[in-house]
Amino acid sequence: MLRYTIRRVLLTIPTLLGVAVLVFFMLRIVPGDVIEVKLRADGGNVSQEVVDAERKRFGLDKPLVNQFADWMVGMAKLDFGTSMWTERPVIEEISLRLQLSLQVAIMATLIAVFIAIPLGTTAALFRDTWLDYAVRIITIGGLSIPSFWFGMLIMLSLLALFNWLPPITFTPIYVDPIANLTQLIWPALAVGYRYCAVVARMIRSSLLEVLNEDYIRTARAKGVFEKLVVSRHALRNALLPAITVIGLEFTFLIGGLVVTEQVFNLNGIGQLFVQSVSRNDFMLIQGMVMLIAAFYVFVNLAIDLLYAVFDPRIRYS
């Protein structure tokens, strides 16, 4: 197991290197750069000499290979560079937003998991009854309604019903938990609903499959209580594919809540991503892509390791 884990961790290096090469060179294919946007987007009357001097200051005049090498050397020293828009360290720009995005992702995951497991299990156990139909309607609704649209409905409903909206600026949970939760519970609900629908449907179909397995029949034949059959034998196995979905959805939430963040005016990674892309802020985009890629790689590794915990038949050796 340890050898497997070490090998998987080492394999992340070529994966992340591949991502780095791709993101670096693909970004440079798009015409234009952040200097033009910064100096001329609002009608700035700056000469070409000034634009060129700024490009030089940020090293954009160097050959691409040299720029890539500089970036790689910096990354090896955990220096992700400087945002070309704000001229502040990329790590500072990201860490400020990561806290919020991570919290929304965790809250949405908790909401999704705590609702999806009972929903999916109920639907499977009461297959083709009104309970199953009700769960299916709820989950199809979750899959069909985009999170941002649901978020807009939440906001407009709060306005229409209570003439109230959640706080507009972020307060860390350790500063004021009430203010923090009052702000973030709504986006977490908006994205948690869709997330919950995906997981619930996965659990339902997986549980239906498992409930037809021979070992379930054997357990029932041995006279094991039905509750134990479901919770210990069936659900534990049925959760395996759901864990993969939960992990991937969680990672998606870190950087993928672009529109939802805009609806709730959240200062998260998704919003930062869109802004940096529209400004061609290469260093910041690169930093964020690497961060999200690293999240994907490590969450996938964690999922694989969790498989062994849930299914003792799986051993990585």
Partner 1 sequence: MRLKLGLLITAALAWGLGSAQAQTPKKGGELVYAITAETPNYDCAGSETFATLHFASPFYSTLLQFDLSKFPAVKGDLAKSWTVAPDLMTYTFKLNEGVKFHDGTPFTSADIKATYDRMRNPPQGVISPRKATFADIDTIDTPDANTVIFKMKAVNASMLEHFASPWNCVYSAKDIAADPNAPRTKINGTGPFIFVEHVKGSHVSGKRNPDYFRKGLPYLDSFKGVFTLQAAAMLNALQGGQVMAEFRGVSPAERDRLKAALGDKLRVEESSWTLNLLVAFNTEKKPFDDVRVRKALLMAIDRWGGSQGLSKISTLRSVGGVIRPGSPSATAEADLVKLPGFSKDIKKSREEAKKLLKEAGQENLKFVLWNRNLAMPYTPGGVFLVDQWRQIGVEVEHKQSDTAPYLAALNAGNYDVAIDFSNLFMDDSTLALAKYLSRDRSPQNLSRSIDRELDKLYDDHIRERDPAKRKALVQAFEKRLFEQGYQEPLLWWHRIVLTHKTVMGWKMSPSHNLGQDLAEVWLNQ
Residue 46 in the binding site for partner 1 (CB under 8 A): yes
> Do 79 and 228 touch, CB atoms closer than 8 A?
no
Q: Cβ of residue 34: shortest distance to partner 1, in angstroms?
A: 7
Q: Which is nearer to partner 1, 93 or 249 (CB)?
A: 93
Q: Report d(CA 299, CA 38) in Å as an integer.
A: 36
Residue 146 in the binding site for partner 1 (CB under 8 A): no
Q: Cβ of residue 77: shortest distance to partner 1, in angstroms?
A: 23
Q: Report d(CA 288, CA 267) in Å as an integer.
A: 15
Using CB under 8 A, pick the residue from 243, 280, 287, 303 that binds partner 1.
280
Of 44-52, 132-140, 187-195, 197-205, the window that binds partner 1 (rule: CB under 8 A) is 44-52
Q: Cβ of residue 159: shortest distance to partner 1, in angstroms?
A: 6
What CA–CA distances, in Å, run from 23 to 26, 35, 286? 5, 19, 6
> Do 148 and 203 touch, CB atoms closer than 8 A?
no
Residue 288 in the binding site for partner 1 (CB under 8 A): no
Q: Report d(CA 212, CA 48) in Å as an integer.
A: 72
Q: Report d(CA 87, CA 95) in Å as an integer.
A: 15
User: Which position has the token pair 């950087």?
Assistant: 255
Residue 300 in the binding site for partner 1 (CB under 8 A): no
Q: Cβ of residue 180: shortest distance to partner 1, in angstroms?
A: 13
Q: Work out the end-to-end distance of the chain between its first and last CA atoms, rounded to an integer number of angstroms.
A: 6
Residue 81 in the binding site for partner 1 (CB under 8 A): no
SS3 at position 82: strand
Residue 158 in the binding site for partner 1 (CB under 8 A): yes
β-partners of residue 89 are: 82
Of 65-73, 86-94, 114-122, 173-181, the window that binds partner 1 (rule: CB under 8 A) is 86-94
Residues lying near partner 1 in the complex (CB under 8 A) are found at 30-34, 36-48, 50, 53-54, 57, 85-88, 93, 96-97, 152, 155-156, 158-159, 163-165, 167-170, 262-265, 267, 271-272, 275, 277-280
